Amino acid sequence: MNRPEYIQERDGALWLTEVESDHLKLNWRLKDVLHVERSPFQEIVIVDTETFGRALVLDGVVQTTAGDEFIYNEMISHIPLALHPNPKRVLVIGGGDGGVVRECLKYPSVERVDLVEIDERVTRACKMYLPELAGKLDDPRVRTRFEDGVQYVKGVRNQYDVIIVDSSDPIGPAAVLFEEPFYRLVKEALRPGGIMVCQSESPFFYLPVLQNTRRLLNELFPVTRTYWAPVPTYPGALWTFTLGCLFDPFEDSGWICRIREKSTRYVTAELAVGSFVLPAFVRGALGVAE
Amino acid sequence: MNRPEYIQERDGALWLTEVESDHLKLNWRLKDVLHVERSPFQEIVIVDTETFGRALVLDGVVQTTAGDEFIYNEMISHIPLALHPNPKRVLVIGGGDGGVVRECLKYPSVERVDLVEIDERVTRACKMYLPELAGKLDDPRVRTRFEDGVQYVKGVRNQYDVIIVDSSDPIGPAAVLFEEPFYRLVKEALRPGGIMVCQSESPFFYLPVLQNTRRLLNELFPVTRTYWAPVPTYPGALWTFTLGCLFDPFEDSGWICRIREKSTRYVTAELAVGSFVLPAFVRGALGVAE
């Protein structure tokens, strides 16, 4: 197993250097390197970090860790699923680690979750090394397809109640998932009354991405809202998610009750409501009143 | 000017290595090192980072940056000041950078802010290099004393409406600011109806500190509450603050209106309310219902 160049031994310990930007790097001390593999799409590494336990690393960027994945995965899943009055069919694009699927399955109305991940090897590695994330992928309600998310949604019309775009950063293969043609296809893949959500990055590090995402969804959907959560392992900490809704799910405040009793570690009904209250500088940057 | 060992030149650029723990390090690319000084208490460094602008660094730990200081400083100041119906005298312990004082002065009822900072050199360096933080220290309502915060509060009884403990991490000189005798003195320094607040660290990296702080304040004060904010430059991102109140300021929900029109960049009235809604795992760790 060839160790990638961003994992080095120093002072008798293994360190992973994550390049957050040209100007900021994070050094994670590792207990172990569990898996290294080059797929047709990216370099897939699973490490065991001292700070947050096992982590999935793609092309040197930490995507998720056992220690804090629950914040991101709960927030990108429970908010749209609770907002939809009766979600039966859910599509997850990206999200090959399985964390989002796990959360979706907590909603009894959900009959089927389609996971469309471009890289089969990511899912295979997560099944082996991160079972707490990928363990529910064998649930009979789940169908996993390994193909390009954009190509997949081109072929579907009017099929999903909720679509969750769990993408990596808008560089490389995931860049198309932040563009207008893709969002238009996602809208067409929704059933009437459907809801889509995408991660829309940090307002500190990627403000133009957030602004652009919000603008594009505004043009396509009658109701668009941005919410946020603190994600310790992502640069900028304050992470945003943006919803596009084919109806106004906020008219019925009963949605927050649907989060109760879902065995979550981060989100609660009250926190779900609070997550839509944006910091003043984000509100200003988006030009919205929320 | 001798550069400290945690600032090194690599690949033609200056990098500051911040040791978050034995297991996690952050590398900040610097535009410049503006100031290096050893005071009787600590090594004081002011750098200009590429990511968050100028930063105050004490003994190698980034304390505050121009780019994100507003989140922490607004949250530790506006919440207690808005909760108090008529704060006239405010004590800030630590906080020599002046950021908390700046926020306190936004409340017209405040007649006097006493800043007690142990290290005169910190304040002097911030006045010179971080005027956006320290610029209001010359306001006639502010009196700055350079002495040990514990010694100072030993001598005062029944004098302050609000006391803000803006400490560094509970290692080295600030450790006493996390202990029972200090909190007892702070309580005695409050006027009837007074409110104190302290930063109580990250539940990811310092959960026992948060739990202990909450427990100690619970024993001393009739009403104790914990609230939180995302601080990008602090490890764990999700940062907590804990209040000790001599009365129940939450009985009157009008407090949130007092945050309005205060020219803030992070906190809003709605966000202030939301900041008291704790993530499920924090609620569980504290054994509270909020």
CA B186 to CA B179: how far, in whole Å?
11
What pLDDT, on the 0 to 100 scale, is given for residue B208? Answer: 95
Helix (H, G, I), strand (E, B), or coil: what is residue B238?
Answer: strand
Q: Is B68 annotated as a binding residue?
A: no
Mean pLDDT of chain A: 95
Percent of chain A with pLDDT over 90: 90
* ipTM, two decimals: 0.94
What pLDDT, on the 0 to 100 scale, is given for residue B1? Answer: 66
Least confident of A131-140, A164-173, A274-283: A164-173
Q: Average pLDDT in the A233-256 region?
A: 93
Domains of chain A: 7-64 (2.30.140.10), 69-286 (3.40.50.150)
pLDDT digits (tens, 9 = 90+) for B56-65: 999 999 999 9
Give the closest of A27, A51, A280 to B27, CB-based. A27
Look at the block and give the residue holding tokens 């295979």. Answer: A124
Q: Which long-range contacts (CB under 8 A, 24 or more apart) does B26-34 make?
A: B26/A24, B26/A25, B26/A26, B26/A27, B26/B62, B26/B235, B27/A17, B27/A24, B27/A25, B27/A26, B27/A27, B28/A23, B28/A24, B28/B55, B28/B62, B29/A22, B29/A23, B29/A24, B33/B1, B33/B3, B33/B7, B34/B129
- pLDDT of A1 over the 80 cut: no
pLDDT digits (tens, 9 = 90+) for B24-44: 999 999 999 999 999 999 999
pLDDT digits (tens, 9 = 90+) for B108-147: 999 999 999 999 999 999 999 999 999 999 999 999 999 9
Q: Which helix (H) or strand (E) holds B272?
A: helix B269-274
Confidence of residue A174 (pLDDT cuts 50, 70, 90): confident
Give the closest of A50, A266, A275 to B281, CB-based. A266
Give the closest of B236, B278, B280 to A264, CB-based. B280
What pLDDT, on the 0 to 100 scale, is given for residue A17? Answer: 96
Q: Which amino acid is at A163?
A: I
Instruction: Look up A248 and say whether it is catalytic.
Output: no
Least confident of A97-111, A146-160, B227-241: B227-241
Q: Determine which one of A68, A119, A161, A166 is catalytic.
A: A166
Residue of chain A whose Cα is closest to the Cα of B271: A277
Whats the size of chain A, residue-wise? 290
Residues of A in contact with B51 (CB under 8 A): 21, 23-24
Beta bridge partners of B228: B240
CA distance B238 to chain A (A): 6
Residues of A in contact with B275 (CB under 8 A): 274
pLDDT digits (tens, 9 = 90+) for A186-240: 999 999 999 999 999 999 999 999 999 999 999 999 999 999 999 998 878 899 9
